[in-house]
Amino acid sequence: MNKIRISAVSYTNTKPFLYGLQHSAIKDRIDLSLDMPSDCAQKLIDNKVDIGLIPVAATLSLPHWEIVSAYCIGAVGPVNSVFIFSNCPIEQATKIQLDPESRSSNNLAKVLLKNYWKVQPQQILNAPDYAESTDPLTAFVQIGDRTFGKTEEYKYVYDLAGEWQKFTGLPFVFAAWIANKPIPDDFIKEFDQALRHGLAHRHELLKELPQRADFDLEDYLMHKLDFDLTEDKKKALYLFLDYIKAL
Ligand SMILES: C=C(O[C@@H]1C=C(C(=O)O)C=C[C@H]1O)C(=O)O
């Protein structure tokens, strides 16, 4: 049988899932690539893979999509790796630079700016200096490992999963395991078992990861990230998609 092609996120947040896949027999049934989230989405849209751990915002670009796992990259409150960094209070920012690696968080920033902070700074895609701001009125979105240890560098720091929870009272789903075609039930079952195995072995994984003085990896993988795709998270996912459509 042909292998199932899978694109997963290349950040630390996905390492528990990778640990599970690599320590399960399913590794021989998959062809796995690691990509930045925007590329996970594009590969699924272009049918270069069958399943992707894709930013949920990208489902709006798929003619057909199905959630194939009970797990996700989510958070209940602050996630500690998805931020708007700013030199001024967000209500005063005139420009917001978006992160080219993101699809969900860029949209989450847009949804919150419009509906929660009720401001409309100019949105800048692909700014040459997208990962920093020296301008007093320019803020920027940043996701993933590049944000680790960066919260001391800017005067105003907004954790977007935390802000979403203040706005809606709900958790948030950044990325979910999504297929662009029907996947055999036996594969889905084995795949989810492997992901569950990885989540159950996060302490073993943490021993393999290089520790950092400026970021609490254990707190991040054990507490800040919340991997269960609960009913509340699904509710949040569909609400988020509705907000994006209304942008
Ligand atoms: C929590 C995170 O979630 C992510 C954010 C994504 C996005 O903004 O599109 C997509 C996948 C996840 O990696 C993170 O990257 O820090």
> What is the per-residue pLDDT across 3-58, written as a single tens digit (0 to 9) for each?
999 999 999 999 999 999 999 999 999 999 999 999 999 999 999 999 999 999 99
Give mean pLDDT, residues 236-244: 98
Cα–ligand 1 centroid distance for 1 (angstroms): 32
Residues with C-beta less than 6 Å from any ligand 1 atom? 9, 11, 13, 37, 55, 73, 79, 81-82, 102-105, 143-144, 174-175
Buried b (16+ CB within 10 A) or exposed e, 215-242: bebeebbeebbbbebeebbeebbeebee
Task: Report CA dihedral (17, 41, 175, 114) to the nearest 10 degrees.
Answer: 160
Mean pLDDT within 140-168 = 98
Calculate how far, in angstroms, residue 199's C-alpha sits from the geometric centre of ligand 1: 18
Q: Which fold has domain 4-74+173-231?
A: D-Maltodextrin-Binding Protein; domain 2 (3.40.190)
Query: Which of 105, 160, 163, 172, when mutated, tests ligand 1's pocket best, judged by the most ligand atoms within 8 Å of its CB?
Result: 105
The pLDDT assigned to 209 comes to 97
Percent of the chain with pLDDT over 70: 100
Q: What is the whole-number distance in angstroms between the Cα of residue 176 and the centre of ligand 1?
A: 10
Q: State the closest ligand 1 atom to the C-alpha of 9, by its place in the atom list counted from 1.
A: 13
Question: In 10 A of CB 185, how many CB atoms?
Answer: 8
Classify domain 82-168 at the CATH topology level. D-Maltodextrin-Binding Protein; domain 2 (3.40.190)
ipTM above 0.95, yes or no: yes
User: Mean pLDDT throughout 218-236?
Assistant: 98
pLDDT at 35: 98
pLDDT (tens digit per residue) in 63-116: 999 999 999 999 999 999 999 999 999 999 999 999 999 999 999 999 999 999
Q: 61 pLDDT exceeds 70?
A: yes
> Whose Cα sits closest to atom 3 in ligand 1?
174
The pLDDT assigned to 1 comes to: 60
Domain boundaries, the chain: 4-74+173-231, 82-168
Nearest atom (ligand 1) to Cα of 53: 11
Determine which residue's CA is closest to atom 4 belonging to ligand 1. Answer: 174
**Which of 7, 10, 12, 13 maximizes ligand 1 atoms within 8 Å of its Cβ, making it the mutation to test the pocket?**
13
Who contacts 241 (Cβ-Cβ below 8 Å, separation ≥6)? 56, 57, 59, 60
On the 0-12 / 13-18 / 19+ scale of CB atoms within 10 A, 47 is exposed
pTM of the model: 0.98
Please state the rounded mean pLDDT for residues 133-146: 97
Q: Which of 74, 52, 72, 55 is nearest to 8 (CA)?
A: 52
Domains 4-74+173-231 and 82-168 agree in fold: yes
Interval 191-204: pLDDT, tens: 999 999 999 999 99
The residue to mutate among 79, 104, 164, 215, having the most atoms of ligand 1 within 8 angstroms of its beta carbon, is: 104
Cα(127) to ligand 1 centroid in Å equals 19
Which protein residue's CA is at the shortest distance from atom 16 of ligand 1? 144
pLDDT band at 128 (very low <50, low <70, confident <90, very high): very high
